[in-house]
Structure 1
Amino acid sequence: MSAATDPDTGTGTVSPAAPAVEEVAGSGNGLRAPLRRRRFRLLYAGQCLSRTGDLVFQVSLAGYAITSGSPALLAYTLFGQATGTVLMLLVGGALADRFGARKVMLWADLARVLATAGVAAQVAAGGRSVWAIAACGLLLGMGDGAFEPAFTLAFTELLPKAELLAANSLQAIALRTAGIAGAALGGVLLATVGATVSLGLGTAGFALALALVLLAGAWPVAHRAASGDGLFKEATGGIRYVFAHPWLWVSIASFGVSVALVVAPAKALLPLASADVLGGGASTYSLLVGSQAAGALVGGLLVGRLRRIPPGLLIFGGMAVVCGGFVVLGLSGSVLASVAVATVVGAVLSAATVAWAATLQSRVPGELIGRVSSVDWLISLGVSPLALVAVPQLLAYGSPATVLVTAAAIALVVSAATPLVPAVRRLAWPAARAA
């Protein structure tokens, strides 16, 4: 345990062995426990705003590209963003581990403010400079790639291990709520005030998040001795740590299979499969997506009550249920049954990903969390484009429903087998800290 610190000023001595967290009387494992900590409240509020702004930005940009007949603007922004994210994930975790989560989050949010403001300016000018648009997208992606590992690390710097599951549950709830609210708000703003203002308000979300991190002030972190290695060599330390621990590389590989075979391709296959099997159009697919989002909110709320289930079984048993759900969605001819299954898939997927984040944060040493998180994000994001590119090729050999069901069945077997690996089966939750 670190020495006691003042919750608001962060003054006090810090143990070199562990991050300092704000001491809160009576903290426990409920969802409210992390919210009793001022710095976490500010960070959490900032992310609710930035996630909402991000969705407003995405919807506004897509809507503008469609209505203005400028698909290149959207394509180049997304290409630059994806490229920047992957490139920065290679070193983003090392930056967070070296400089601390707060500094990296501040620079990442500043990059995203400048990038989204640049896109808004291009739209206001008619969006004719392809290279400027691509550069803004690249900067936006670099901000994303630096932010995610730092944000994962920030939880461990601000919270005791027993509160990590609750904090990640809150984060999942925020992501889903912001996604729904941001998408709706973006559509309304685009229709009422136009793309330039709507994009500008999306930028404001990142700016407010930046302001709240500044308001939180610097928080004390465990002392990290300089390795003397270059940044790239430090970044590879995360890869070495992952392969040295079977529970980590097996888990990340299993998730990679699920993302590659089910989660990513379903974005392209599920709309086609639902049209073939259910006979519906865009409205039917929208209903399934909305049901999955609603289920994800429920899963985020309930996962904290599932601590009696060992993490390995909760995470990968849950992923097996998710994959099985997609098998059913590819076969079901009933809209009502498909909506029910989509809701369950959303809830279980949310619970599994929250449990995984908490497990990663509680078991990986603090000085390596950023880099290990980068590896995790890189595998998940890296396989997604490859999976989506493979979809058109696979459709030459079968219907969308057949491809979806086959891929989901394979992923189901892999997920169900993962808890049989001893290192995964032995995973346990951290003990709750006494009040």
Structure 2
Amino acid sequence: MTQRVVIVGAGFAGQHAHTELARAGYEVTLVDRHPYATFQPLLYQVATGGLNPGDIAYPLRRFVSAGKGHRAKFRRAMVTGIDTENKLVETNRGAPLPYDKLILAQGAGPNFFGIPGAQEHARTIYSRAEALQVRDLIFSGLEQLTTGGPERRYTVLVVGGGATGVEMAGTLAELKSEAIPVVYPELSQDSLRVVLAEMADTLLAPFATRLQRYTLHELRKRGVDVRLKTAVAEVRADSVDFADGSSLDVDLVIWASGVGAHPEVSEWGMPLGRGGRVEVEPNLQVKGLPDVFAVGDCAIEPDSPLPQLAQPAMQMGTHAAREIVAADSGLGPTAFAYDDKGTMATIGRNSAVVQFPGGRTVTGFPAWALWVGVHLATLLGGRNRIQAMVNTAARYFAWPRSATTIVGDVVTDEPTRPDPDSGRPTPPVQNE
């Protein structure tokens, strides 16, 4: 019988796998490079000052200790290798972790598609630290505009027309059109320029055509310069070249153009498929490795690939855990079946899109209210839900004066230091 299960990664998939196995009485060790779990769908709110980083982060040791099982452990570490022959997970901290079953749930990171300069000069919001960096750069840029000349502008380019890119661009556009006249009366609305570049001919590709058109209309109404069929060719420190030969002077590039596997996964000896994702059987077992499962964004079933979203990750984590329990009960494998509960994205205050299975769609305030409710309910911990609800409500009812309720630090010209998540330089800040 399986006794020891190691789960690599504490995102949505890892959390759900852990909960299921701990409840069943297994000895579970959760491994993650951070001491907290981050609710990634709301990171853009941290990046734009809408939420505190603590609102969407939950201590993993508390998560582990709060489970119904009493044999759960947590190790803060990075996985450096996997010895499948001896069933050991090697980490950069502590002795190797032995396992009977292993669940890979390490998620994914940004995909720069080999575009020159993108990794070095663009910013991402896939982690708490990165969201804070973007926040500091945005609010520092606005503050610097207040002492510049009337012709000075701060240009933000968002690359990628998926949900993250749309949400980021929409929130920035509200700063431009509604908050600047109130919070920064010395600036004009044109002081902040928001550009969204998408290489395809539409935004939100997985959504219905009606929702794509609605999203495009809402963003442009808010003042976003949306450029479809526009691919990035090169990113520099202060400008971006596009594939059509044009260029754009920029102050900040936010990369939201897709996700890819973490580079270190290629050294773990796993069978890799498209995008560097771990190939799995229909029951989520890694191909050729009966004691290893892969779930969430890091996994792909070649014949039936799933979207890299929260709902598939949650369901995959639960399914993999149940497969382990079933195998110990003498039952055979069961193929994973995704229960599509719908997809949603927010554009800004009172504006969002929701698509349900079967084709039903919702837009506007009802969709926005549904989006808020679902995301607040999914946060880990009652305290986080209450804090996020209070901050969201205060920002909503006090808008636009609440646009800078939670402000960033001022970026200085001091030497940079590497970011622990991405390895790229971190903009130094000066506490106000």
TM class by shorter chain equals under 0.3
- Larger % of strand: which? 2
Q: TM-score, normalised by structure 1?
A: 0.23
Q: TM-score, normalised by structure 2?
A: 0.23
Give the structure, 1 or 2, with the largest relative contact order (CA under 8 Å, sep 6 or more): 1
